[in-house]
Amino acid sequence: MKVLLFERRFWPAIVTGDKVHTIRQPRKRPICPGDQISLRGWEEKAYRSRQRVLSDETCLAVLDCWIDSQGIVIAEHRLSEQVELDAFAVSDGFADWEQMRSYHDFRSLPFSGELIQWGQHPILLQLLCPSASEH
């Protein structure tokens, strides 16, 4: 089982299922679709306390992701409409696109990494399975 650690601010969205993916730098030991992943956070100080298991999930997809000041590119599909960007940001645990764009990991844009998905979001479902959104 692979472990992903999250800041305390993301815990509620993970537990409720509102956060269905994370964007990270590529890992030395990559996560692949089908892998079991444990979503955790440090209870106190990092490396000096226990990890709290927030959720155990199955990785659905790992997609290339690019973030710039104009939007997000996921697997060669650009999201640039404000409604799409806000919905995507909420599914990543942020209040809106502006909050996500100003997050410390993304402050020096452009950012290139990978999106690790464990839950379904309508935008991601449409990108990955366009025929599913037609039914």
Q: What is the pLDDT of residues 53-106, one digit of tens each?
A: 999 999 999 999 999 888 999 988 899 999 999 999 999 999 999 999 888 777
Closest CA to 129 of 59, 77, 82: 77
Contacts of 124 (CB under 8 A, 6+ apart): 20, 21, 61, 74, 91, 117
User: What confidence category does residue 134 fall into, taking pLDDT thresholds of 50, 70 and 90?
Assistant: very low
Q: Domain coordinates of the chain in residue numbers?
A: 2-134
19 φ, ψ (degrees, to nearest 5): -90, 115
CATH fold of 2-134 reads Sulfate adenylyltransferase (3.10.400)
